[in-house]
Amino acid sequence: QLQLVQSGAEVRKPGSSVKVSCKTSGVTFNTFVFSWVRQAPGQGLEWMGRLIPISTAPVYAQKLQGRVTLTADKSTKTAYMELRDLRYDDTAVYYCAGVSNPTVYWGQGTLVTVSS
Amino acid sequence: DIQMTQSPSTLSASVGDRVTITCRASQNIYGWLAWYQQKPGKAPKLLIYKASSLESGVPARFSGSGSETEFTLTISSLQPDDFATYYCHQYNTDWWTFGQGTKVDI
């Protein structure tokens, strides 16, 4: 059964970085399309970018271009999302997700709090 | 980017009511649409995928319909556990987009 299990909650100071992991099981890792989505408190869902481990460069939402990096470790079947230069409005729950046709799978979410 | 317009933004209803939420895509998404239920502090819960397929374990009172650019989520008889926020989500392209959400309350 396909599962996406994310790392735990993080607290960071403004200007620092955070790296969230998403460990997979039950997927064909190299061809799985990983998407990352975030949700700020009381807000809707915002797509951040997507990565296909075997394919070309990741694609990022224009709003986050230059601050976000998506990577994948094939040996551990784990995807990562790193966000740099954190700001207070980056406080959100971050989700990894992906499509295994025809349905969509989601991780449980990782709360990232940016606080001084 | 494909824009998803969801309506209404809020919906007041009572237990037993039939509820319909609409999502309109700015271009044809070939049925690659999902519906989620979200409660405070919880991850989105998948209800419907591929526009009309009911996720395993989801009560049959939930149904999805539509094609091309117009989609609906229907709850046939609203139950107390259904008061939540609902989102539509297009995954026709790798650039996912979501509706703004519909809060269903009393």
Q: Which residues of A touch B44 (CB under 8 A)?
A: 45, 95, 106
Res A101: pLDDT: 83
Rg of chain A, C-alpha, whole Å: 14
Cα torsion through B72, B76, B82, B85, rounded to 10 = 20
Q: With cut-offs at 50, 70 and 90, classify the pLDDT of residue B29.
A: very high
Q: Please give the pLDDT value at position A54.
A: 86
| Mean pLDDT value across residues A65-94 | 96
Alpha carbon of A58 to those of A28, A36, A107: distances in Å? Answer: 18, 11, 19
Could you report the per-residue pLDDT of B33-81, keeping only the tens digit for each? Answer: 999 999 998 999 999 999 999 999 999 999 999 999 999 999 999 999 9
Contact B98 A44 (CB under 8 A): yes
Could you give the C-alpha distances from B104 to A75, B16, B79, in angstroms and in order? 44, 13, 11
A109 touches chain B (CB under 8 A): yes
Distance from CA of A32 to the nearest CA of B (A): 12
Amino acid B106: pLDDT = 77
Cα–Cα distance list, B6 to B1, B12, B47, B64, B99 (Å): 16, 16, 16, 14, 5
Confidence at residue A1, expressed as pLDDT on a 0 to 100 scale: 85
Structure-block tokens of residue B82: 């259904």
For the CA atoms of A2, B74, B81, B40, what is the dihedral angle to 10 degrees? 70
Q: Which whole number is the average pLDDT over A41-67? A: 92
pLDDT at residue B3, rounded to an integer: 96
DSSP secondary structure code for residue B80 in this structure:
G
Alpha carbons B18 and B44: distance in angstroms, whole number: 22
Mean pLDDT of B14-36: 97
